[in-house]
């Protein structure tokens, strides 16, 4: 990144949020008492303020499938094996929900692109990858919508494979085209001048 040594930003609120988030996650995986983790979950939700419902909803939604499968399988296996533990079930579910809430609280409170600015090339890469991902996701959605509008009834398995392959190839094509455009844009703005790339 150009002038990365001289323009490195001072420690900001976003850097501190990233450090606090990482420390909280590591701490949560070292505590094995459900009551303490439940208290930490309550504290996280309190810290979320008026976003607590949204954060809890998104966190619960993101973990519900994996946790339900693991919990149901554990319940069945341990009941049959005679070694069932409510404490384990509470521990794993509260911990996973706490970690998900921490992630969504971090996303709500901090700007991840600014939080990564201690490594400018990484922050730039992250921002570019995110914006390009959203663009390519839009292309995939367009493909899906186009395929749906051109199909009457359920498409055959072979046709669905051909559509998926065409979408994959179009995405790669678009990605490489965007790469060339981005390089030209960055070069025209002098991004690479005096750059000892640290990627």
Partner 1 sequence: MHIPDGFIAPQMYVPAYGLAGAMWALAARRLRESFDEDSIPKLAVLSAFCFAAMMLMIPLPGGSSAHASGLAVPAIVFGPWTAFVAVSLVLAMQALLFGNGGITTLPVNALALGLAGATVAWASYRALRNVNENAALFAAGWLSVNCPALILAIALGLQPAIASTADGKPLFFPFGLSVTLPAIMIPHALVGIGEGVLTILIYRAIEKRGWTAS
Subset of residues 51 to 90 that bind partner 1, contact rule: CB under 8 A: 58-59, 62-63, 66, 70, 73-74, 77-78, 83, 85, 87-88
Return the structure tokens found at 3: 């002038």
> How far is it, in rounded angstroms, from Cα 18 to Cα 24?
10
Least distance between partner 1 and beta carbon 143 (Å): 10
Can you tell me which of 20, 90, 112, 147 binds partner 1, judged by CB under 8 A?
112
Residue numbers 15-44 binding partner 1 by CB under 8 A: 21-22, 25-26, 29-30, 32
Alpha-carbon torsion angle 88, 92, 93, 96, nearest 10: 170
Q: Are 18 and 110 in contact (CB under 8 A)?
A: yes
Distance CA 95, CA 111 (A): 25
- Using rule CB under 8 A, residue 179 touches partner 1: yes
CA distance 32 to 15: 28
- Assess 147 for contact with partner 1 (CB under 8 A): no
Single out the residue of 129, 142, 145, 189 in contact with partner 1 (rule: CB under 8 A). Answer: 129
CB of 152 to partner 1, least distance (A): 15
Contacts of 191 (CB under 8 A, 6+ apart): 2
Task: Give the residue with the Cβ less far from partner 1, 43 or 135.
Answer: 135
Tell me if 161 contacts partner 1 by CB under 8 A.
Answer: yes
């Amino acid at each position: 990144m150009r002038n990365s040594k001289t323009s490195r930003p001072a420690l900001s609120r976003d850097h501190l949020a990233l450090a606090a988030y990482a420390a909280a996650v590591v701490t949560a995986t070292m505590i094995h008492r459900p009551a303490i983790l439940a208290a930490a979950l309550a504290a996280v939700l309190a810290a979320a303020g008026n976003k607590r419902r949204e954060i809890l909803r998104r966190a619960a939604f993101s973990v519900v499938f994996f946790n339900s499968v693991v919990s149901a399988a554990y319940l069945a296996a341990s009941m049959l094996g005679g070694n069932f533990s409510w404490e384990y079930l509470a521990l794993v579910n509260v911990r996973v929900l706490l970690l998900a809430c921490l992630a969504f609280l971090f996303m709500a409170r901090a700007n991840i692109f600014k939080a990564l600015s201690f490594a400018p090339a990484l922050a730039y890469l992250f921002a570019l990858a995110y914006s390009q991902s959203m663009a390519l996701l839009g292309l995939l959605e367009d493909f899906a919508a186009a395929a749906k509008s051109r199909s009457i009834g359920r498409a055959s398995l072979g046709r669905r494979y051909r559509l998926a392959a065409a979408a994959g190839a179009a995405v790669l094509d678009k990605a490489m085209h965007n790469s060339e455009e981005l390089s030209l844009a960055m070069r025209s703005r002098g991004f690479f001048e005096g750059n000892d790339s640290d990627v």
